[in-house]
Chain A
Amino acid sequence: MNREIAKPISAVFDEFVPYLSAADILFAKNLAKISSKIINKRLELGMNQKVFAEYLGVSQGMVSKWESSDYNFTIKALTEVCCKLDLIFDMQICEVATKVENLSIKDKYSTGLVLGKKKETINKKTQDHRQALVCDLPLAG
C-alpha cells in the first residue's frame, strides 16, 4: 500500500462538514447501525426480505425501509422489532470523554447505541429468569 497517497475515510466525511450538524452525523451513524443489525439477523436466518417480513408480521416494504435506513424508529417500535428478533436494544447516553474511559475497546467511540444478541449466559437461563435478566440490564454511562 502506498501510504503517501492513501487517505483515511475521514477525508470524505470532512467534505460534508459545512452541510451537517453533529446531530445529523451521529443520527446517520445510529440509524445505519440499526439497519445493519437487522440485515445481519435476516441473513443469519437465511431469509429474503419477503419471508423475513412474513416472519415478523410486517410488510416487505417496511423491512426494505428498515434495511435502507429510511425509517426513523421510535424507541417503542425499535424495542418491539428487537423483541421479535430476540435481540436486546439497550441505550447508552453518556459524556463523550468519560465514555472513552469506561467502555471496552470494541465499544469505544460507539454511537452510544448497543443493539446485539442476547448473551449466551442469558440464553441458558429459564425463560422467566431470562426476562428478569433482560429487564435488569443496566444503562451504561
Chain B
Amino acid sequence: MNANRAIEQLEMCFNGFIVHPDLPKEIICLIDGTGYEKIFFHQLIHKLTILSEHHKHIVQIKDFERLSYAPEFYSIHLHSNGKFNIRILFSMPEEGIILLHTFYERGRKRSTDYTKQIPIAKKRLSDLMGKE
C-alpha cells in the first residue's frame, strides 16, 4: 500500500468533514520545512478523530475550545512541546464539521489571540454556506 492509498482509507473515517479551499495550503505553509510535519499530522488525525466521535461534547475534551465571543466557532489546539502551536478554527452547522482557518498561535493572552482570525473564519464560513 502506498501513501495515497492509505489516505483513501483514512478519508473514509471523516465523511462529515468539509474544508474551505484555502485551508490545505494554509496548513502546509505553517508546517512545511519545520521538520515536524509527521508529528503535526499525527496530532491532526488524533484531534479530527476525537472531533468526529465526540463533536456533541467536544468542549469537555482537552485542546478543544468554543470561542465565547464568537460561539459559532470552535478552536482545535495543536501543540507539541514548543515545536509548534497551531490553531484550527471550525464550525459545526447542520451541514457537517467545517474546517475554516488555521494560524500560528504566538501570544499568551488567549482572550485577544483570535481577534484578527475570527473575521477570516466568518468570511470563509459565509463563502461555503452561500451567505452574504
Q: Which residues of A contact B (CB under 8 A)?
A: 1-2, 5-17, 19-29, 31-33, 35-36, 39-40, 43, 64, 67-69, 96, 108-109, 111
Tell me whether A17 and B19 are in contact (CB under 8 A): no
Pick the residue among B13, B28, B43 that contacts A29 (CB under 8 A): B13
Tell me whether B5 and A6 are in contact (CB under 8 A): no
Tell me whether B49 and A11 are in contact (CB under 8 A): no
Tell me whether A10 and B7 are in contact (CB under 8 A): yes
Let me know if B103 is at the binding interface, CB within 8 A.
Answer: no
Tell me whether B21 and A5 are in contact (CB under 8 A): yes
Q: Which residues of B contact A (CB under 8 A)?
A: 1-14, 17-21, 23-25, 27-28, 37-38, 41-46, 48-50, 53-54, 57, 60-63, 95, 99, 127-130
Which of chain A's residues have a CB closer than 8 A to the CB of B95?
1
Tell me whether A14 and B7 are in contact (CB under 8 A): yes
Tell me whether B1 and A96 are in contact (CB under 8 A): yes
Tell me whether B11 and A9 are in contact (CB under 8 A): yes
User: How far is it, in angstroms, between the C-alpha of A49 and the C-alpha of B61 when the chains are bound?
Assistant: 10
Which DSSP category, helix, strand, loop or mixed, fits chain B's interface?
Answer: helix
Tell me whether B6 and A22 are in contact (CB under 8 A): yes
A-B contacts, 15 listed (Cβ < 8 Å) = A2-B129, A7-B21, A9-B48, A11-B21, A11-B23, A15-B24, A16-B37, A20-B38, A21-B3, A22-B6, A25-B7, A29-B9, A32-B50, A69-B42, A96-B5
Tell me whether A22 and B41 are in contact (CB under 8 A): no
Tell me whether B19 and A19 are in contact (CB under 8 A): no
Which of chain A's residues have a CB closer than 8 A to the CB of B60?
43
Which of chain B's residues have a CB closer than 8 A to the CB of A12?
19, 23-24, 27, 44, 99
User: How far is it, in angstroms, between the C-alpha of A132 and the C-alpha of B2 when the chains are bound?
Assistant: 39
Tell me whether A28 and B128 are in contact (CB under 8 A): no
A52: min CB distance to chain B, Å:
13
A100: min CB distance to chain B, Å:
10
Tell me whether A25 and B18 are in contact (CB under 8 A): no
B100: min CB distance to chain A, Å:
11
Which of chain A's residues have a CB closer than 8 A to the CB of B45?
25, 28-29, 32, 69
Pick the residue among B19, B43, B48, B127 that contacts A11 (CB under 8 A): B19
Pick the residue among A6, A15, A22, A64 that contacts B25 (CB under 8 A): A15
User: How far is it, in angstroms, between the C-alpha of A20 and the C-alpha of B41 when the chains are bound?
Assistant: 9
Tell me whether B9 and A26 are in contact (CB under 8 A): yes
